Amino acid sequence: PYPTDIREYLYKILVIGDLGTGKTSIIKRYVHNIFSQNYKSTIGVDFALKVIQWSPDTVVRMQLWDIAGQEKFSGLTRVYYKEAVAALVVYDVTRPKTFEAVPKWKADLDSKVSLPGGEPIPVVLLANKTDLKDETSTSLDPEEMEQFCEDNGFVKWFGTSAKDNRNIDDAARFLLEEIMNRE
């Protein structure tokens, strides 16, 4: 038969984490393949759309929600989380404080959104700015990171660099697989 049936999905995906960890940079890299030292942080929420041909008959639209200016607040509002199906939590490997904040972001998320069945939404942890890693004392021990993910309910972690375009596609693909497997 023609036209063939194309399945289309639209997913709301949150990108959260402390100020300056690279949330906007990761989104710009993933969606537009660009990097800049300077993204204006306007107050509010930005959206970016990444369209993926998941399979010959399946198109996925990933609507990435980028927070700006709300990072210092104690958690985001429920409205912001509403109907999100997955999230990326970002920290900056050169600033341990942003890692310490990760469980806080995760707890805020889990308290305000869940899948229709009640399970927590899949969340991937991004250890960003790994291009700067060798210049700092921060080391990423894979075993410790895996344990951290297990303890805090992250489905996986990736060391990323928005600057060098490292691991961002892989992390997004992994997250999307998690979402699609639950469909």
Given 46, 108, 110, 131, the residue binding ligand GDP (CB under 6 A): 131
Which of 113-121, 127-135, 146-154, 172-180 is the region at the interface with ligand GDP (rule: CB under 6 A)? 127-135
Buried-state track 43-80, b at ≥16 Cβ within 10 A, e below 16: eeebebebeeebeeeeebebebbbbbebbeeebbeeeb
Positions in 35-74 near ligand GDP (CB under 6 A) = 37-39, 41
Given 125, 128, 158, 159, the residue binding ligand GDP (CB under 6 A): 128
Q: Which does 159 bind (CB under 5 to 8 A by kind): ligand GDP, Mg ion, none?
A: none
DSSP 8-state class, residue 71: T
Query: Cβ 166 to ligand GDP, closest distance in Å?
Result: 8
**Pick 114 or 165: Cβ nearer Mg ion:** 165
- Tokens, residue 164: 């060098």
**12 touches 95 (CB < 8 A):** no
Given 125, 161, 167, 175, the residue binding ligand GDP (CB under 6 A): 161
**Pick 41 or 58: Cβ nearer ligand GDP:** 41
Which of 57-65, 81-89, 125-133, 147-155 is the region at the interface with ligand GDP (rule: CB under 6 A)? 125-133
**Pick 41 or 152: Cβ nearer ligand GDP:** 41
DSSP class per residue in 77-139? -HHHHTT--EEEEEEETT-HHHHHTHHHHHHHHHHH---TTSPPPPEEEEEE-GGGGGGSS--
**154 touches 124 (CB < 8 A):** yes
**Pick 60 or 88: Cβ nearer Mg ion:** 88
